A and B are shown apart, each in its own frame.
Chain A
């Protein structure tokens, strides 16, 4: 299975099915779905770099925390991620950790954004592993 996201119909908000052949890929698919929901299918600059270290009690919580971090960076730091340079997810009995390097840019007036995501929700997030492939649904509250 290759990394991908597919938007599915949701009456009030935005929902996407994420897939990946590793947890790392699944998280990248989530970030891409988040970006397209916010900005559409546009290309933006990647003249800036940012490192992220996040922890959570489960991989589902880590995914929600990661995507909410992108939201936080956009709204308060006016920093929009464009691509993921590297990402590594550690999942063990003690909890989960993410370490990533993001490329992106400071938001500029000409960046036309489509939606404000209030938050990435925990609703129906369940990361399922089947034959080494990972998948989950993710819902963005707008």
Chain B
């Protein structure tokens, strides 16, 4: 089939290939159903962006896209690309402005039925404890430059050292919450300024804190290993590196625009500005991006701590009664140096995941010991009115997608259209009818982020499930939502 000028050749029911033409160095491959292509990809530039990414120097195998693919900057959202370390490049366009935007999910021992009358109270207390909205600040005291340097170097270990987390929180965070080659010397003064008072804040847009209930278990064995049971209250936190990460991206787009000219790269989009991984510019960006990623892990850790305190105080429970244990924390905007198989050989590549989640299989040494037998948890948030999913990584993901899966639902309505569609409706009341309590900074945020503005996340996870890239373990539904 053709979408505009782009030819898509069917490989399997949910996998389509864009042949390498012109100066593309590799073909494109998109995991998606025919129906989703026809409904969602006809009118935007996302597939063109898959083609653009295939032009990057040193790209290996394919320019990939997950089923939540949509129009981004440089890479499409849902884009995955691995570049080799010899002549390959690193690009902020393959990571995004919100470096290490990600999701963490904590489980509790609480059954929804026991506390369903307390959700109102919980939501309002969580809203007070976790700052939200434009430039949200002040969750914890403003950090000195020295403390912030420690956050950027240590990631969520900083929270642990400051009594804002436990050692098991670190064990169940991707990369144990710290990328080791972060360098604060290559992070600008402006980035420091933007981050100083934003630790422990959600921000605005699609970021959220949710109280969810486990609605459906798809795989009982794995769910048990993950500590999940039907009717259980769990907590989801979706946010990233806040202003600090946005500033790092801004700073390095400028540096890498100059570098792209210097190294003679002819790129189809400025947002694909890049530099060889082994150049000074590439190494500086990698080290600054890792520092921002560490900020993000620490941010989600501090928010989780604040939420846990609210739960403890509201229910007057001890830590062991409450549970509140981190199931896992995954990032979905990142570039990482990882080992992957090429035929019989294994080599290191730089895997860019822009709106894509790492999904490592059973036996991977890079996932917690507890999950070695089943695979890495993959957390896929949906929208505020429907459901989210907990998936697990597979061997096939390692074979086909550099160990990557989808990351969310993706919007189907612009903010303007969402606002129009919300006119005259009582969205808070509609959510209440469905048993969902919401608190946000303004009604406009609720309207822009309403359920109808998003695609159905089950279509996205079904593609990944059918293709065997990730498997469905549990479906959770929101009962309390905090938005910016």
Contacts from A to B (Cβ < 8 Å): 7, 9-12, 14, 38, 57, 60-61, 65, 68, 72, 74-76, 78, 112-116, 118-119, 121-123, 125, 139, 141-142
Q: Return the 4 tightest CB-CB contacts between A and B, nearest first.
A: A113-B134, A122-B270, A116-B134, A116-B204
Q: How far is the CA of A11 from the CA of B74 in the complex (A)?
A: 16
Q: How far is the CA of A142 from the CA of B246 in the complex (A)?
A: 10
Contact of A76 among B74, B97, B193, B415 (CB under 8 A): B193
Tell whether, in the assembled complex, residue B194 and residue A7 are in contact, meaning their CB atoms are under 8 Å apart: no
Tell whether, in the assembled complex, residue B97 and residue A11 are in contact, meaning their CB atoms are under 8 Å apart: no
Contacts of A14 in B (CB 8 A): 415
Return 22 A-B CB contacts under 8 Å, by A number: A7-B416, A9-B414, A9-B417, A11-B412, A12-B410, A57-B258, A68-B250, A72-B190, A75-B194, A76-B193, A76-B194, A115-B134, A116-B133, A116-B134, A116-B205, A119-B246, A122-B273, A123-B73, A123-B269, A123-B270, A139-B73, A141-B73
Q: How far is the CA of A118 from the CA of B417 in the complex (A)?
A: 21
Tell whether, in the assembled complex, residue A142 and residue B204 are in contact, meaning their CB atoms are under 8 Å apart: yes
Tell whether, in the assembled complex, residue A12 and residue B71 are in contact, meaning their CB atoms are under 8 Å apart: yes
Other A-B pairs, 15, CB within 8 Å; known A12-B70, A38-B134: A11-B413, A12-B72, A60-B270, A76-B193, A78-B135, A114-B134, A114-B444, A115-B134, A116-B133, A118-B97, A121-B97, A122-B253, A123-B74, A125-B270, A141-B97
Contacts of A72 in B (CB 8 A): 190, 194, 247
Contacts of A60 in B (CB 8 A): 270
Scan B230-253; emit 1 where CB is below 8 A from any A CB, else 0. 000000000000010011011001
B343 at the interface (CB under 8 A from A): no
Contact of A74 among B135, B203, B258 (CB under 8 A): B135
Closest chain A residue to B204, Cβ basis: A116
Closest chain B residue to A40, Cβ basis: B444
Q: A12-B71, A76-B243 are in contact. Are A57 and B194 (CB under 8 A)?
A: no
Contacts of A119 in B (CB 8 A): 97, 246, 249-250
Q: How far is the CA of A121 from the CA of B272 in the complex (A)?
A: 12
Contacts of A121 in B (CB 8 A): 73, 97, 271
Tell whether, in the assembled complex, residue B442 and residue A112 are in contact, meaning their CB atoms are under 8 Å apart: yes
Q: How far is the CA of A72 from the CA of B72 in the complex (A)?
A: 22
Contacts of B415 in A (CB 8 A): 14
Q: How far is the CA of A7 from the CA of B414 in the complex (A)?
A: 12
Q: A12-B77, A142-B205 are in contact. Are A75 and B442 (CB under 8 A)?
A: no
Tell whether, in the assembled complex, residue A11 and residue B205 are in contact, meaning their CB atoms are under 8 Å apart: no
Contacts of A142 in B (CB 8 A): 204-205
Closest chain B residue to A77, Cβ basis: B193
Contacts of B243 in A (CB 8 A): 75-76
Q: How far is the CA of A57 from the CA of B273 in the complex (A)?
A: 14
